[in-house]
Amino acid sequence: MKKLLIILFVISFSSFAMAKDKWTLISLTYSSGPVSPQYQSSWTLTIDNERNATYTSKGAGTDTTYSFTVSKKKFNKLISYINKYKLISADPESMKTDNMRIGGSSNTVTLTVQNADPNTDQPPRKIEFPSQQNSEWTPKMKNVVNSLSNCIPNNKSGK
């Protein structure tokens, strides 16, 4: 009986250890910040883990939305940054800077992570990374933002 319990414990623990959270969506939101209404603009790019993307822009009386598929090369570059910087397990609080600037444009990256264990009834986690980071994270998040921006066909974001 003890052996059976030990075997069951080992099997359940090993399946738990093998389960990994995975990202399902990543988005980049740009805002021009506090400027005169005629100059205000914002856009959002959302990419899922199957390369499907949606781009939405608003500003100066024009709204645009279109969908597209991200190229494999650009998508793989984005995935390499997500993995290299361990964004799924990163702590956004540890990225914040003590020297926050006031005003100006901002880029916000949000990663949606699905719990890999189907036995836990948990909604996906949304990890929102600060638009201003400390000196360790600034170059890393700049790479992620540039990689996301480069996924937009003809880079219609204006960036």
pLDDT at 12: 46
Tell me whether residue 66 is in a domain.
yes
pLDDT by 10-residue block (mean), the chain, 159 residues: 50 46 91 82 94 91 90 96 91 81 84 80 85 86 94 69
Tell me whether residue 13 is in a domain.
no
How many structural domains comprise the chain? 1
Strand order in the sheet with 22-31: 62-69, 52-59, 41-48, 22-31, 106-114, 125-129
CATH number at residue 63: 3.30.1560
Report pTM: 0.78
Tell me whether residue 16 is in a domain.
no
Tell me whether residue 134 is in a domain.
yes
Domain range spanning residue 50?
A: 21-155
